[in-house]
Amino acid sequence: MSLRISESLDVIGPYRNNFSVGRKMCLLAVVGVLAVVCERVASQRFPPGFQFGAATSAYQIEGGWNVSDKGESIWDRMVHSRPDLIYDHSNADVACDSYHLWEEDLRLVQEMGLDFYRFSISWPRLLPNGFSNKVSEDGRRYYSAVIDGLRARGVAPVLTLYHWDLPQRLQDLGGWTNPLIVEWFADYARVAFSLFADRVHTWITINEPGSVCDVAYRGFLAPGLRDHEVGALLCTKHVLLAHARAYRVYQEEFKPKYHGEVSIAYQECWFEPKTDQDLEITLLTREYLFGRYSHPIFSAAGGWPPALERYMADKSKKEGYPRSRLPAFTPDEIQLLKGSFDFYGLNHYTSRVVRGAAPGEPLAFISQGVEEVRAALETRPRWGTATSSWLKVNPEGLRHLLKLIKQQYGDVKILITENGYSDTGDQLEDRDRVNYYKDYLEQVLLAITEDAVRVVGYTAWSLLDNFEWAAGYTSRFGLYSVDFSSPRRPRAARASARYYAGVLRARGPHADTTRNTTA
């Protein structure tokens, strides 16, 4: 089915301008321009008010999985019942033990000079039954202590309500495929706002809805279900509506008093067509993986991306379904979703090249392509590779993506909520990670100064080595290493921690790293 590119001119520009395969370029001119740009970036600083932070999530660092009255989460259930789904058969029962060592974590946050620290609430730690009829005093006390500790150190807390640890009781009732979860999440958000909104002024409702639905419903993440044809799309609708209801709760009940900001955080790759003939499939792939989550909230029209909606309706009909597998929004739901943001939260790590798949070509999700739209995903030989094989290093992709977001959704304020690099083991001289941060920060700076993209902050993932989901402890993203073999879980600063602390002092990517950050 045609994507009707003539109706999608707003998203063609960045692809045409940067990746038209047939365009001839003068090498000497390019080298000259790059030299000027590099010299300019080296001398520039991020604008006044730009904020730097680091991030973690509750399940990945807290441990204390059954302390006090905490309820069971879908991750607790999966790692205990199906350890074979985790690469090293590990779990996060203790993880970094941040439930007990949170003051040590805050010491590192202060030591680096971070402007903010992004972390998440464990839904079943705060609401042990999943429902708002019982609030855990232990959970309330724990998160209050972390928030107060950050503020006492001059660091702003940025709080995520949902970073994948759904209460198992709610999963048993259908989880994100049950439409009632929209109100269950709104109830949970209201409790969190009531307890913490007087001290937290930046909120993220849901981290990476695409991971929550598309990856989890292909069995790669908890709850480990496999139903991407229907389950993932039901999940998409309800996750978006849950976000919007939580946003409206804050706007109506809390914003007049506390004046905070609320949004959602997307994980987005930069996609570029392999050839000019692959532009249409590239746009459809982007709409399926990313526009499905951002268009209903950030576009002026609201609702599903029109080209994707048509494609899914036509495909579902050919498959024999009586209606589209992409569930429709009601007019009221479209209005509820539209404009439910105060900033654009962006998690970005990597890039991909897109081409149309050959007939019968196998497309394993993530590694090879997107079966739903028959798109094959590849990489460029020049892109570097982190320990995580999916993470291909292409710093320019972040700048292209930032420009595309501005072109699609206007002069929206963008907070980069995650960006980072994985390696393995406990090595402290992590020069590849330092180079990754420097190169990606340079591209953020160029997006601000050259492209006038309104990026207001940057978040390094992650403050600590942690339980990295299906990879267990084999993949390390931390600015600080954690010795998981020791009951004390000692932290140690890597070279990247010293570099990032230097960035904060210099307010630019070309940082002085001669001053030590100790652990």
pTM: predicted TM-score of the whole model, two decimal places? 0.93
Burial of 306 (0-12, 13-18, 19+ CB in 10 A): middle
User: Are β-strands 202-207 and 270-273 bridged in parallel, bridged antiparallel, or unpaired?
Assistant: unpaired
Looking only at Cα atoms, what is the longest distance across the chain? 68
454 phi-psi bin (left φ>0, alpha ψ -120 to 50, beta other): beta
Tokens coding 79: 């790692």
> Percent helix, strand and coil across the chain, each rounded to 5?
45, 15, 40
Q: Supply angle C-alpha 115, 428, 107, rounded to 5.
A: 35
Known catalytic residue at 371: no
Domain edges within the chain: 5-19+51-506
3-class secondary-structure state, position 259: coil
Is 150 in contact with 190 (CB distance < 8 Å)?
A: no
Instruction: Give strand pairing partners of 117.
Output: 54, 157
Tokens coding 491: 């932290």
- DSSP letter at 337? H
Write out pLDDT tens, residues 111-155: 999 999 999 999 999 999 999 999 999 999 999 999 999 999 999
How far apart CA 360 and CA 358 sit, in angstroms, is 6
Tokens coding 83: 């350890």
Burial of 382 (0-12, 13-18, 19+ CB in 10 A): exposed
E-state strands within 89-152:
116-120
Burial of 445 (0-12, 13-18, 19+ CB in 10 A): buried
Q: How many CB atoms lie within 10 A of CB 316?
A: 17
Cα dist from 158 to 218, 457, 490, 493, whole Å: 30, 12, 25, 23
CA dihedral 103, 106, 110, 112 (to 10 degrees): 120
3-class secondary-structure state, position 295: helix
Is 240 in contact with 299 (CB distance < 8 Å)?
A: no
Is 4 in contact with 303 (CB distance < 8 Å)?
A: no
How far apart CA 219 and CA 74 sit, in angstroms, is 13
What single letter denotes the amino acid at residue 214?
D
3-class secondary-structure state, position 38: helix
How far apart CA 249 and CA 302 sit, in angstroms, is 20
Instruction: Output the tens digit of pLDDT for each of the chain's 519 residues.
Output: 333 333 343 454 555 545 444 343 333 343 444 444 455 556 689 999 999 999 999 999 999 999 999 999 999 999 999 999 999 999 999 999 999 999 999 999 999 999 999 999 999 999 999 999 999 999 999 999 999 999 999 999 999 999 999 999 999 999 999 999 999 999 999 999 999 999 999 999 999 999 999 999 999 999 999 999 999 999 999 999 999 999 999 999 999 999 999 999 999 999 999 999 999 999 999 999 999 999 999 999 999 999 999 999 999 999 999 999 999 999 999 999 999 999 999 999 999 999 999 999 998 766 679 999 999 999 999 999 887 888 999 999 999 999 999 999 999 999 999 999 999 988 999 999 999 999 999 999 999 999 999 999 999 999 999 999 999 999 999 999 999 999 999 999 999 999 999 999 999 998 766 455 544
State whether CATH 1.20.120.80 applies to domain 5-19+51-506.
no
Backbone phi, psi, residue 470, to 5°: -65, -20
| C-alpha torsion sign, points 475, 480, 481, 484 | negative
Known catalytic residue at 137: no
Is 348 in contact with 419 (CB distance < 8 Å)?
A: yes
The residue from 62, 72, 208, 287 that is catalytic is: 208
The residue from 280, 309, 333, 418 that is catalytic is: 418
| b/e burial code for range 236-271 (CB count within 10 A of at least 16 → b) | bbbbbbbbbbbbbbbeeebbeeeebbbbbbbbbbbb
Q: How many CB atoms lie within 10 A of CB 71?
A: 23
User: Are β-strands 392-393 and 384-385 bridged in parallel, bridged antiparallel, or unpaired?
Assistant: antiparallel
